[in-house]
Amino acid sequence: MSVARRRREIGLLKVLGFVNRQVAAAVSWQATTLALIGIVVGVPLGLVAGEAIWNAFANNLGAVPISVVPVWLVVTLAVGVLVVANLLAIGPALVATRSKPARLLQPSQRTAV
């Protein structure tokens, strides 16, 4: 979606001299940044919510509420999210690199309703 929304910016970058590799890198960096924001916000919130739910569940069972979170699992999950985000960005990056700047800079054909 970001490539479709930012088609004018991509066209402008191409007119200013970006080569296809740089356009693909820009799309990849955007995917990486979005994934990192999700990781930075989601991991702490997930850990806090998971611990709170586990404590409530364990207390209702009458068990000792000890939560264990393997650090390697959290790191593996974060790396996996980054890898998947960049793999998903390959398609839009290819579309952005194959587009012609003149076509990207044309006014959109949307009609007001």
Residue range 59-107, pLDDT digits in tens: 888 888 888 889 999 999 999 999 999 999 998 888 888 877 777 677 7
Asked if residue 66 belongs to a domain, the reply is yes
Tell me which residue range forms the domain holding 15: 2-104
pTM, full prediction: 0.75
Asked if residue 109 belongs to a domain, the reply is no
Residue range 87-98, pLDDT digits in tens: 999 988 888 888
Q: Which of 36, 19, 45, 15 is nearest to 85 (CA)?
A: 36
CB 67 within 8 A of CB 48: no
Asked if residue 91 belongs to a domain, the reply is yes
> Does the structure show a pLDDT above 80 at 6?
no
- What's the total number of domains in the chain? 1
Q: Which of 90, 68, 72 is nearest to 80 (CA)?
A: 72
Asked if residue 110 belongs to a domain, the reply is no
Asked if residue 30 belongs to a domain, the reply is yes
Asked if residue 74 belongs to a domain, the reply is yes
Asked if residue 25 belongs to a domain, the reply is yes
Q: 25 — alpha (psi -120 to 50), left (phi > 0) or beta?
A: alpha
10 Å Cβ neighbour count for 58? 14
Asked if residue 26 belongs to a domain, the reply is yes
